[in-house]
Amino acid sequence: MADSYIDPDRQAWEVFKSLPRDEPIQMLNLIRLKPKAEYPPGHPDHGKDLTGLDAYRAYGRTTAHIFKRLGGRQVWAGKPQVMVTGPAAEAWDLAFIAEYPNSDAFIAMVRDPEYRELVQHRTAGVADSRLLRLAPVEPGEGFGE
């Protein structure tokens, strides 16, 4: 695959920040992991032969207190099995939705100095990802309602 996405680009980040900030948001996360984690030299886990999943789980464990302190919670998680509609190359290892009380909570998390240090686990373990901001809505009776 030619393109991989680990962090938001500047333009997408500016759009994110321009959307309403005073209402709950949900973030759909699709994660493809590296077979082996790639920590930079000097990181305590460099050269430890950890998997991408090991690194991503370390990211989740070490940042959970920041996520919770800011009012975040995981509202849905599923194990991707097969891409029924779409390119097979878009297969994912992890899928979940994280909810925040508002976008300022998400912004505060990614700007938190401790989080910025710990996010190295995510970077070491993730080969590709998608992060889609959602406005929660009450589902209707039919698809798309």
Measured between alpha carbons, how far is 42 from 54 in angstroms, rounded to an integer? 18
Give the pLDDT confidence score for residue 7 in this predicted structure. 85
Give the pLDDT confidence score for residue 144 in this predicted structure. 83
Give the pLDDT confidence score for residue 1 in this predicted structure. 44
| Residue stretches of the chain with pLDDT short of 70 | 1-2
Give the pLDDT confidence score for residue 33 in this predicted structure. 97
Q: 102-115 pLDDT, tens per residue?
A: 999 999 999 999 99
Measured between alpha carbons, how far is 1 from 141 in angstroms, rounded to an integer? 38
* 76 three-state secondary structure: strand
For the chain, give every domain's residue range.
24-134
Domain covering 24-134: architecture: 2-Layer Sandwich (3.30)
Q: 5-14 pLDDT, tens per residue?
A: 888 889 999 9
Q: Cβ-count burial of 37 within 10 angstroms (0-12 exposed, 13-18 middle, 19+ buried)?
A: buried
